[in-house]
Amino acid sequence: MSESLVLIETHGRVGVLTLNRPKALNALNNDVVAEIAAAARQFEADPDISVIVLTGNEKAFAAGADIGAMKDWGFSDVYNNDYLGGDWQYLRQIRKPMIAAVAGYALGGGCELAMLCDMIIAAENARFGQPEIKLGIIPGYGGTQRLPRAIGKAKAMDLILTARMINATEADAMGLVSRVVPTEKLMEETMDVAQTIASMSLPSVMMAKESINRAYESSLAEGLMFERRNFHGLFATEDQKEGMSAFVEKRQPDFKHK
């Protein structure tokens, strides 16, 4: 039996997906993405999971879409099959927070997969880039849209047009990543962050995620209204009563995620 392309673990309320195609630097083909999407669907539906962590290995988070697989495709192959649609796009609909724990290369579709997550925690050895232009194509999994939103137009133009790779320090200075941590501590630090988020009330966490995402997809006025409605809505949850009572009673909250 062939080994899974994605390894699945749970740690308390955190689901961890580890890309497992090390010989190809975790290059993303349709099978890899189908396995990520299938596991993410399970975590999304599981009331005992609050946070999803996506990671690779020390050499590569993912070195991009699988170039060998794409090499001989023509327009009708990619268009008719809606390449980079389907499972690839499902991941952006996930409502629970997703954290990318990135060590080594996050290039092309690998950088785009990390950017699709809600936070990127980078190891000191992480390398980010959108080198598609060297292959005679452009980023196709969100790079031309998410990168300028993350780091601004000037820097995004630089990276996408020159194919330049940046290290974790530069990525941090540009605002692409949330934190940089020692490479050997990547999973420990990421799990600390994930467990902290998982200890919060899940409805609050999901509403915070969807409200922040509105900041990218709507006008300020519309985003502010959306945020306020979500804020109002949380007063209908048991966890709001518990969270505020716990504060007043000087104790830790016992969230039920309802």
| Choice among 56, 64, 104, 109 that is catalytic | 109
Least CB distance to ligand CAA at residue 150 (A): 16
Choose between 7 and 133: whose C-beta lies nearer to ligand CAA: 133
> Is 160 within 8 Å of 185 (Cβ atoms)?
no
CA distance 242 to 201: 10
Choose between 28 and 193: whose C-beta lies nearer to ligand CAA: 28
Residue 35 is among the residues annotated as catalytic for this protein? no
Choose between 47 and 136: whose C-beta lies nearer to ligand CAA: 136
| Choice among 132, 142, 156, 208 that is catalytic | 132
- Please give the structure tokens belonging to residue 22: 């090390």
Q: Which residues contact 174 (CB under 8 A, 6 or more apart)?
A: 150, 151, 152, 155, 166
Choose between 16 and 33: whose C-beta lies nearer to ligand CAA: 33
Alpha carbon 187 to its chain's center: 15
> Is 186 within 8 Å of 123 (Cβ atoms)?
yes
Side-chain-side CA neighbours of 139 within 13 Å: the count stands at: 29
| Choice among 27, 60, 63, 65 that is catalytic | 65
| Choice among 112, 129, 143, 168 that is catalytic | 112
Least CB distance to ligand CAA at residue 39 (A): 20
Least CB distance to ligand CAA at residue 57 (A): 12
Paired with 55 in beta bridges are 18, 101
Side-chain-side CA neighbours of 193 within 13 Å: the count stands at: 22
Residue 132 is among the residues annotated as catalytic for this protein? yes
> Is 122 within 8 Å of 168 (Cβ atoms)?
yes
Choose between 8 and 67: whose C-beta lies nearer to ligand CAA: 67
Report which DSSP code applies to 18: E
- Please give the structure tokens belonging to residue 56: 């690779």
Which residues of this protein are in contact with ligand CAA, per CB under 6 A? 24-25, 27, 63-68, 105, 107-109, 112, 131-132, 135, 139-141, 143
Q: Which residue has the tokens 């600390």?
A: 192
Packing angle, helices 143-151 and 109-116, rounded to 10: 60
Residue 184 is among the residues annotated as catalytic for this protein? no
Least CB distance to ligand CAA at residue 108 (A): 2
Least CB distance to ligand CAA at residue 131 (A): 4
Residues with active-site annotation: 65, 109, 112, 132
